[in-house]
Structures are given as structure tokens and as C-alpha cells.
Amino acid sequence: MTVNCDAPIGDETLLDYWSGDLMADDADRIEQHLFTCGECAARLERIAAIGAGIARLVREGRIGGIISRTLLNRMQRDGLHVRLYSVQPGETVPCAAFADDDVVVA
């Protein structure tokens, strides 16, 4: 038997909750809902699983892309070793990646 949520939490809000980007009061409110709503809790679990899968692919060097300065700053705050190269159009910059690098950004 499937029970539908009367007040589903939006995907963006669930993502903000999972990533720790909500204010404490908002996070508490979302958490209370998640404790009583299996449907929203299951959606949050799927978001977390996707995040873990993406993180694994990035660590393995199997995925790349463009990231925001905010995300880059968060990675550094979280203790990742970020090697950053600033490159201007037409410029050549010698660069390398080392075993202790978690992320290389150009």
C-alpha cells in the first residue's frame, strides 16, 4: 500500500538539506517531516545515493565538468586537496596532477 505525502518537500529543498545548505530552523522542520514521511525520506535516500555515485565517479577521474566558485570553496573547506590553475584565453600553463590531489581545476 502506497501512502502519498500530503505536503511533499521539493527536490531543491531536499538537496539543500542533504548538502547542509539550509538554516538550522529550516533543517529542523525538514528533518521532522522526514521522520514521519517515508515517501520524502525515500526521495532523500535516492538523492544521497546519486550524490555518492557522482562523488565516486569524480574521485575515479571518470567524470568532469564545470563547477561554481561556491562548490570549489566548499570542497576546500571540507578538507579536499584542490590543485587550481588559472588560465587565460590563448595562454599555456604548465600543470600537473599529483597522487594527493583530490581535485584539479583549470
- Enter the DSSP assignment of 71: H
Residues 72, 59, single domain; the answer is no
Q: What pLDDT, in 10s, does the model give residues 52-88?
A: 898 888 778 788 788 888 888 888 888 889 998 988 9
Scan for cell 535516492, then name that residue.
Answer: 46
Same domain? For 97 and 47 the reply is no
Taking the whole predicted model, whether its pTM rises above 0.75 is answered as: no
Asked whether residue 9 falls in the same domain as residue 54, the answer is yes
- For residues 102 and 55, what is the distance between their CA atoms, to the nearest angstrom? 11
Higher-confidence residue of 85 and 3: namely 85
pLDDT at 2: 46
Which residue type, as a one-letter code, is found at position 81?
A: H
pLDDT score at 106 = 84
pLDDT value at position 3?
Answer: 62
Q: How far is 49 from 24, CA to CA, in rounded Å?
A: 23
In the chain, helix, strand, coil percent, each to 5? 50, 5, 45
Q: Give the Cα separation of 96 and 101 in Å (integer).
A: 10
- Domain that includes residue 53, residue range: 1-63
Same domain, 55 and 83: no
Beta bridge partners of 104: 83
Q: What does the pLDDT look like over 92-105, one tens digit per residue?
A: 988 888 888 888 88
pLDDT tens track for 16-47: 999 888 999 999 999 999 999 999 999 999 99
Q: How many domains does the chain have?
A: 2
Residue in the structure block whose three cell numbers are 529550516 = 26
Query: pLDDT band at residue 1, thresholds of 50, 70 and 90?
Result: very low
